[in-house]
Amino acid sequence: MKLGFFGINVGPCADPATAARVAKAAEAAGFESVWTGEHVVLPDPHAAPSPAPPQTPFLDSGIALTFVAAHTKTLKLGTGIIILPQRNPLVLAKEMASLDVLSGGRLILGVASGYLHQEFAALGIPFNGRGPRTDEYIDAMRALWTMEKPRFDGRYIAFANVDAQPRPVQKPTPPFVIGGQSAPAYRRALERGSGWYGFSLDVGGTKKCLADIEAERAKVVRPAALGRLEVSVTPPAGMGVDDLRRYRDLGVDRLIPIGFLGGEADMLRLIETTAHALL
């Protein structure tokens, strides 16, 4: 089972020196990847369903991972996740291709449709229809990255007679990992993703999601080029290493514990103990 570190751009890791030391420690310990979280804005005062107080620092995912790339050599760089319908897909494709090039092909592109309606409202993006918009934006990004003469004609985005270079290092594209715990998200992962990502799931919740994914599998056609669906999970904060081993027994491919809690010493200790137990 591969190990990731969640929160390399959040809280204490919004400090660049801390982020660099934590990323280097994760790489040295044998972690496969580090992952960002994303919220452009948070409701103030704190209100449901927001996951964090409005003063919580969130560095931009692409910029934070580019910084981490410059301080590491092999560590994969995951966005966990980018809220895709809030982004212009051509601008995001340029940013993520740039990150993949500058890191030597280390990007894992995690995306989802989002859930924080206050954030959508502040950005002027319709909350309704965010699922179909997410599907279309994934397809548009793939078209821009893979077609010799890129073109796309969709409901939300259309383009032709354009190009965007350089293309990503990873061919045909960096892996798309699809987040979300709903039937549409499972279908999106099966139809369009190299992997699925479940956030803050205990072992029982993970088992249920995997069963639900299998139920949706019969309803869609998974492109053969995508291969096997890889499963990534972030457990709830505070789980012990004995609990973490149970995810491996479920068939989870990548475990991404929440790592940004506490101070730098706490994060380095979590990296060491988790690696010792699971790698």
Q: What is the pLDDT of residues 156-187, one digit of tens each?
A: 999 999 999 999 999 999 999 999 999 999 99
> What is the pLDDT confidence band of residue 101, given thresholds at 50, 70 and 90?
very high
Q: Is pLDDT above 90 for 222?
A: yes
**Average confidence (pLDDT) over 1-7:** 97
Measured CA to CA, the distance from residue 269 to residue 279 in angstroms comes to: 15
**Contact status, residue 1 vs residue 32, Cβ threshold 8 Å:** no
Share of the chain above pLDDT 70, in %: 100
Q: Is pLDDT above 90 for 89?
A: yes
**Average confidence (pLDDT) over 227-255:** 92
Nearest to 263 by CA among 22, 3, 37, 5: 22
pLDDT at 279: 86
| Domain positions in the chain | 2-278
Q: Is pLDDT above 90 for 109?
A: yes
**pTM beyond cutoff 0.85:** yes
Measured CA to CA, the distance from residue 3 to residue 275 in angstroms comes to: 8
Measured CA to CA, the distance from residue 110 to residue 80 in angstroms comes to: 5
> What is the pLDDT confidence band of residue 241, given thresholds at 50, 70 and 90?
confident
> What is the pLDDT confidence band of residue 244, given thresholds at 50, 70 and 90?
confident
User: If you average pLDDT over every residue of the chain, what do you get?
Assistant: 97
**Contact status, residue 36 vs residue 75, Cβ threshold 8 Å:** no
**Average confidence (pLDDT) over 89-114:** 98
**Average confidence (pLDDT) over 29-55:** 97
Nearest to 189 by CA among 253, 242, 249: 253
Measured CA to CA, the distance from residue 120 to residue 117 in angstroms comes to: 5
Helix (H) or strand (E) holding 78: strand 76-79
Nearest to 189 by CA among 212, 207, 205: 212
Q: What is the fold of 2-278? A: TIM Barrel (3.20.20)
> What is the pLDDT confidence band of residue 245, given thresholds at 50, 70 and 90?
confident
> What is the pLDDT confidence band of residue 26, given thresholds at 50, 70 and 90?
very high
